[in-house]
Amino acid sequence: MNGLAVTVDPGLRRDDAQLKAVTPAQAGVHPHHERDDAPAGQPLATLAALVHRDLLLAWRRRADALGTLVFFVLVTALFPLAVGPEPAQLRAIAPGVLWVAALLSATLALPRLFAQERADGTLEHLLLAREPLPWLLLGKALAHWLTTGLPLVLLSPVLALQFDLPADATAVLAASLLLGTPTLSLVGSVGAALTLGLRNGAVLLALLVLPLQVPVLVFGAGAVLAEAGGLGARAHLLMLGGLLCFATVLAPWAAAAALRISTE
């Protein structure tokens, strides 16, 4: 094929002055190299760039992330108001209350995972990226955890003070949240992908995801109760770690499949 020939439909008129041969060099285009296996993708660099971008976006919209934290504080404050201020009772219910509040806050923040991309039309960039979609969704879940789960972990000791939880139990609480909240983000990403763009999506998302997160809740709150009861939380924390590994391996695949189903 001669790069100098010009073909134009007579119906699509152009000024004759513009009918000139254009060589690639004149067009200022560097011809791509086809067929050569494109330089090997850089999975880690792409993942880091994706996480960096999501953190940047979250930072520029700090209010959204702070809203989740405020919700956490609010829910934990509701329980003493509801059950009465008696310290022994509060100490007994503290692990459960704090864990349920963390679970609900994390679930409330899940729609944000893909909502932004869907709104500005950049979701296809993820679907058409060079790296496999599950890998990228792992990055998105990681970024989501850094912006919602990690602040919950850091705030939890402060809230544990409200319930007069002893120090070692508080430490176990923070550790259990540290191990449990990434699992919440990972499993939640599957739900977020499935309910993408549906009306009433946030409530539906909670309905879908909360039963699947019961194991994390059971072992997380159980860890603190075991510590408070003198049994030691090691077994629980190990189970939480196991659930995290399980979710890290499987959830991105499910979320990628769900995202493709939702955007087809």
Positions 176 through 215 that interact with another protein (CB under 8 A) = 190, 194-195, 198-201, 204, 207-208, 210-212, 214-215
Q: Which stretch binds another protein (CB under 8 A): 97-105, 130-138, 159-167, 169-177?
A: 130-138
149-181 burial string, b = 16+ CB within 10 Å, else e?
Answer: bebbbebbeebbebbebeeebbbbbbbbbbbbb
151 binds another protein per the rule CB under 8 A: no
Confirm if 181 and 150 have CB atoms less than 8 A apart: yes
Interface with another protein by CB under 8 A: which range of 37-45, 84-92, 164-172, 173-181? 37-45
Contact set for another protein, span 51-70 (CB under 8 A): 53, 56-57, 60-61
Q: Are the CB atoms for 160 and 110 separated by under 8 Å? A: no
Cα separation values, 223 from 6, 101, 168, 171, Å:
74, 16, 11, 11
**Element of type H or E holding 226:** helix 214-228
The answer to whether residue 84 forms part of the interface with another protein (CB under 8 A) is: no
Q: Which of residues 242-261 bind another protein (CB under 8 A)?
A: 243, 246, 250, 254, 257-258, 261
Binding mask 88-127 for another protein (x = CB under 8 A): ----------------------------xx--xxx-xxxx
# residues contacting another protein (CB under 8 A): 91
Q: Per rule CB under 8 A, is residue 230 in the interface with another protein?
A: no
Residue 228 sits in the site that holds another protein (CB under 8 A): no
User: Ramachandran region of residue 35, left (φ > 0), alpha (ψ -120 to 50) or beta?
Assistant: left
Are the beta carbons of 72 and 155 closer than 8 angstroms?
yes
